[in-house]
Amino acid sequence: MFQKRKISKVIAIVSLSIVGLSLTACGKFSYKRGATAHDFQQEKNVCAASTNTEAQTKKCLKENGWIVLDLDNKANEEAAKTGSPANKAVIHGSYTKSTPDQFIAEKTIETEIEPAPLPADPLQAVSVSSWWKAGAGPDQLFAEGRVCKDGLSKEHPINGNFSQVTVGFIECMAEKGWKVWLK
């Protein structure tokens, strides 16, 4: 009985230590809309093979549509602790100067904002933040994107993840029901 209790305590202490270490450990955070961890690892391997430093690899990933944050960066930690004096003034000032009347809803007139028209030149290069289509995933995006890319002439510079495309490509994807958010 005494031996079982001792083993249980050891297991509990080791388990808590592992959990504690994993919660305090930092690392990197990577994100790309519609991508999986496997997609990231493949892209990272491709970038790492063609670059010499981690900074170049990070730049390559960014050029391919990935957001990569280094959570181990001590500068980020210090900025989070201290904050910006300008931000503190805005935050504290907004609380001290507020009155109950300030939060009463005002009558607003809603106007429909028309998006800026695309350039007339179908070969004009455009930077894309994201693509979306109701019910569609990344596989359908890439399949329909390849069809559009193959249907256009070679003068259309389109990268592999469709973040740098042409107006002609956007028009082709729009015919297939895709919406685009431009940078």
pTM for the whole structure: 0.39
pLDDT averaged over every residue in the chain: 74
Write out pLDDT tens, residues 139-160: 999 999 999 999 988 888 888 8
Type and span of the H or E element at 127: strand 125-132
What's the whole-number mean pLDDT along residues 120-146?
88
pLDDT at 95 (0 to 100): 42
Name which of 57, 58, 67 is nearest 35 in CA terms. Answer: 67
Cα 137 from Cα 134, distance rounded (Å): 9
Is residue 49 one of the residues assigned to a domain? yes
Report if residue 16 sits inside a domain. no
The span from the CA of 147 to the CA of 174, in Å, is: 13
* C-beta of residue 148 within 8 angstroms of C-beta of residue 176: yes
**CA 33, CA 132: separation in Å to the nearest integer?**
10
The reply to whether 150 falls in a domain is yes
Where a domain ends, among 88, 106, 139?
A: 88
Does residue 157 belong to any structural domain of this protein? yes
Residue 13 included in any domain: no
The answer as to whether 99 is a domain residue is no
Q: Is residue 164 part of a domain?
A: yes
* Both tokens assigned to 88: 């503190």
Task: Note whether 84 and 31 are same-domain residues.
Answer: yes
Q: What is the pLDDT of residues 44-95, one digit of tens each?
A: 899 999 988 888 988 898 888 888 776 665 555 555 555 555 444 444 444 4
Q: Which tops the pLDDT comparison, 12 or 116?
A: 12
SS3 state of residue 51:
coil
pLDDT for 91 equals 42
Claim to verify: residue 80 and residue 132 sit in the same structural domain: no
For the chain, the residue count is 183
Range of the domain at 141: 125-182
Token pair for 151: 């249907």
Q: What integer is the mean pLDDT of 26-45? A: 81
* Structure confidence by residue, pLDDT tens digits, 105-114: 555 555 565 5
Residue 48 lies in a domain: yes
